[in-house]
Amino acid sequence: MELMPDFDLHRPTDVEEAVRLRAETEGALYVAGGTDMIVNVRRGIEQPAALIDLSSVKELQEIVEDDDGLHIGAAVTLEILAGDTRVQESFTAVAEAATAVAGPTHQSYGTVGGNLCLDTRCLFYNQSEWWRKSNDYCMKERGDICHVAPGGKRCFAAFSGDVAPAALVHKAEVDLVSATGRRRVSLADIYRNDGMNHLAIEPGELLAVLHLPKAESGQPSTYEKARVRGSIDFPLAGAAVWLNQSGDKIEELRIALTAVNPYPHLVKNLDKFSGVKLDDNVLNEIAEMVQSQAKPMRTTTVKPWYRRRVVGAIARRLTAKLSQAS
């Protein structure tokens, strides 16, 4: 066990105060539920000078519905998200993803914002201080080399949040707030293909709201992940699927993946299947396309080839399931 490093704890009650404290306090980081941040602090991976706790910020705990859709505050817990009937009915994949996160205790205080901003993960990174030290650390934290791809200059730690791919197939957007203002961007735009620095948001920016647009809610969606233990585990690979069908033909198909790239990946070139009749051959082609875009590396104890195959198999199975349901 590591001793807790010294840091101050701030408990702002509104967003404005939170972003101001974050901007004014050198070395400060946000913490919401803490189910990932506190683990990382205990392992010496994060050494914040201060933590800005978001759990007293009321406006981040609301789910608002209007003509545009559902607007989910970043500090809404995964349990509340998964239990919301509007989410279950109109954004099924999102509710399913939230119930697939860790175990029920984590879901009761882990938040949506923390899940979307989750750090990337790797076998050589999510370890105790002494474990990492005995291995000369790694590129992502204090070290020089990557143990996954020695000789390479890139970090391949995998983004392993469950909710992001589900929100991506629903074309979700997010509000980002900083001391200088507020902007709304598509969720896909806050990620980039870099395990070391996968969040394309400005330092200090707070993710305030997840917008799930109503226009995207009419079609069925679903999420599934492979994991070592069914009861509680990060995904080895996960896929969310959204399908719009007319008759037995695909109008539009969307698939997003998690845990197989350093960012949640919205599968490209699926428009190729628009207007195509969904049969076994097409399902196989879809699985192949998914597999070719998944780039799992040796970041878990389970082999990359398995994760690539299983993510294709999940995407195939879920597409078939949605097509039969509609």
Ligand X SMILES: Cc1cc2nc3c(=O)[nH]c(=O)nc-3n(C[C@H](O)[C@H](O)[C@H](O)COP(=O)(O)OP(=O)(O)OC[C@H]3O[C@@H](n4cnc5c(N)ncnc54)[C@H](O)[C@@H]3O)c2cc1C
Is residue 120 part of the contact set for other proteins (CB under 8 A)? no
Residue 194: DSSP 8-state:
-
Query: How many chain residues touch other proteins (CB under 8 A)?
Result: 29
Query: Quick count: other Cβ atoms within 10 Å of Cβ 206?
Result: 23
Residues 185-224 that bind ligand X (CB under 6 A): 206-207
Q: Which of 21, 41, 93, 101 binds ligand X (CB under 6 A)?
A: 101
Is residue 74 part of the contact set for ligand X (CB under 6 A)? yes
* Beta-bridge mates of residue 43: none
**At closest approach, how far in Å is the CB of 190 from other proteins?**
25
Q: Which of 24, 62, 68, 104 binds other proteins (CB under 8 A)?
A: 104
The amino acid sitting at 204 is: G
Q: Which partner in other proteins, ligand X, none is near 5 (CB below 5 to 8 A by kind)?
A: other proteins
Binding mask 51-70 for ligand X (x = CB under 6 A): ---x----------------
Going by C-alpha positions, the residue among 126, 113, 124 that lies closest to residue 62 is 113
Dihedral, 242, 113, 87, 312 alpha carbons, nearest 10: 30
Stretch that binds other proteins, among 89-97, 106-114, 137-145, 194-202 (CB under 8 A): 106-114
Q: For residue 260, what are its two tokens?
A: 């197989």
Inter-residue contact 159 to 120 (CB < 8 Å) = yes
Q: Which partner in other proteins, ligand X, none is near 55 (CB below 5 to 8 A by kind)?
A: other proteins
Q: Which residues contact 69 (CB under 8 A, 6 or more apart)?
A: 211, 212, 213, 214, 215, 216, 217
Which chain residues interact with other proteins by CB under 8 A? 1, 4-11, 31, 34-35, 38-39, 42-43, 50-51, 53, 55, 102-106, 108-109, 231-232
